[in-house]
Amino acid sequence: MEKPISKKDQLYEGKAKVIFSTDTEGVNIMYFKDDATAFNAEKKGTIENKGVINNKISSAMFRYLEGKGVKTHFVEELSEREMAVKEVEIIPVEVIVRNITAGSISKRLGIDEGIELSSPILEYCYKDDDLGDPFINDYIIRVMGYATQAELDIMESVALKVNDLMKEFFDERGIILVDYKLEFGRYKGEVLLADEITPDGCRLWDKVTREKLDKDRFRRDLGNIEEAYEKVLNKVIK
Ligand code: CDP
């Protein structure tokens, strides 16, 4: 029998998660907190039970994507708030995928939210909290050495494949996948989909009512945040 994965030292504490080392080679533990932040951590709060819900949603999404041939850092769901993940080196580039206008693209381009795009838009941001995750492009990524062209090619094609898969997955469950952020990591010469896939980093709208089922409820003080996250979980694991 395989040795169970056991937690060792805390390596890093982020805004919504804590990473621990383990005594299994190449494996870390990701612990999901209830803390929520928005607007580059200017707004802080907690969403009751969010960590438990997000661990379940993210585990389900990674299992689904792995089943469709996407390579991810997911190893296993260990407990209510803990997931075992491969010990990746995070590539400091956030990949944002948009299917419908919302948030920063609406602001930047002066266009309404809720407009369906004729094909997905990919954007890149430099992952740096102190700088507020600035918008960057492929030239900046290559020249500054954030990622190689080969890595960028993988990130782009995986992001588009994940988009097709996730759009269909959510559509079948009565949810519109508006936009979301992906992160990737390096592991033993491969580029793996990493971080989390949860309503913290995705905009998800109810297909019928267009009710927001994501972190915009926290950002915009819309209330019923936990209920919205739970609704997503129940549809995801249906
Ligand atoms: O969220 P905001 O309007 O500031 O930025 P956006 O560029 O419209 O975000 C697009 C999508 O990526 C949303 O689903 C965000 O939740 C997500 N995102 C994220 O999870 N983390 C970031 N640092 C930036 C965006």
Per-residue model confidence as pLDDT tens digits over 162-197: 999 999 999 999 999 999 999 999 999 999 999 999
Q: Which amino acid residue places its CA nearest to atom 13 of ligand 1?
A: 180
Q: How far is the CA of 34 from the centre of ligand 1 (A)?
A: 18
Under the phi-then-psi rule, with left for phi > 0, alpha for psi from -120 to 50, and beta for the rest, what region is 174?
left
Residues linked to residue 86 through DSSP beta bridges, in sequence order: 27
What does the pLDDT look like over 12-24, one tens digit per residue? 999 999 999 999 9
- Quote the pLDDT of residue 238: 85
Q: Which amino acid residue places its CA nearest to atom 7 of ligand 1?
A: 104
CB 12 within 8 A of CB 69: no
- Quote the pLDDT of residue 1: 62
| Residue 104 Cα distances to 135, 189, 215, angstroms | 10, 34, 14
- Quote the pLDDT of residue 2: 75
The residue behind tokens 């609406």 is 106
Q: In whole angstroms, what is the distance from residue 195 CA to residue 184 CA?
A: 7
Q: Is the pTM of this model over 0.85?
A: yes
- Quote the pLDDT of residue 135: 98
Q: Which domains does the chain have, with CATH numbers?
A: 7-86 (3.30.200.20), 89-225 (3.30.470.20)
Q: Which amino acid residue places its CA nearest to atom 20 of ligand 1?
A: 201
Give the distance between the most distant pair of CA atoms in the chain.
Answer: 58
Q: How far is the CA of 200 from the centre of ligand 1 (A)?
A: 9
Collapsing DSSP to helix, strand or coil, 62 comes out as helix
Residues with pLDDT less than 70, the chain: 1
Q: How far is the CA of 22 from the centre of ligand 1 (A)?
A: 31
